[in-house]
Amino acid sequence: MNFPNLKIPSHLLATWFGVGLIRPAPGTWGSLAALLIWYFAEFMHPTAHVILPIFILFSWLVCSQATKDSDFKDHSAIVIDEVAGMFVALSFVSHGIITYLCAFLLFRLFDIWKPWPISWVDQNVQGGLGILLDDLIAGLFAGGIIYAILILI
């Protein structure tokens, strides 16, 4: 199958409405899109404990379907996983440009660098869960570090 075909709903969502087609660095563009959505939708932060788990399950389903349609294990155009990972990172921090920028930079660092256990998940967990889980862990690392720093300050 020709992936992505934006006329197919799972492909449209997996590419986050086409953001995953932006080159270079589609994952960075997907992360930036997530940051902008979270920033301008302030209501998400207080209700993240409800919205985020639903979005994560939804992203898992989308990644699972999209990966079935692709010839790649994790096609670079699939960026809904970066969106979910960024949402996780941002759910830890207070609403503000500086904290959001720090979350973005740390998330991208962990997503690209892939320290353990992110690298283990990336190499050993298959399918939609594997595509998503490494980004969720990167989001936990990024958000958790910023949260700890803010508590210490």
**Tokens representing 133?**
């889980």
* Nearest of 14, 114, 12 to residue 58 by alpha carbon: 14
Q: Please state whether the peptide bond connecting residue 46 to the residue before it is cis, i.e. omega within 30 degrees of 0.
A: no
Q: Could you give the count of Cα atoms lying within 13 Å of 70 in the half-sphere of its Cβ?
A: 23
| Residue 114 scores a pLDDT above 80 | yes
Mean pLDDT on 119-133? 96
**Percent of the chain at pLDDT exceeding 90:** 82
Higher pLDDT, 45 or 139: 139
Classify residue 93 by burial, with Cβ atoms within 10 Å: 0-12, 13-18, 19+.
buried
CB within 8 Å of 82: residues ≥ 6 apart: 27, 30, 31, 34, 111, 135
Helix (H) or strand (E) holding 118: helix 118-124
- Cβ pair 139, 85 in contact under 8 A: yes
Task: Please tell me the total number of residues recorded for the chain in this structure.
Answer: 153
Share of the chain above pLDDT 70, in %: 97
**Tens-place pLDDT, residues 66-89:** 999 888 888 999 999 999 999 999
The structural domains of the chain, with segments of one domain joined by +, span: 9-152
At 138, list the tokens.
């990167």
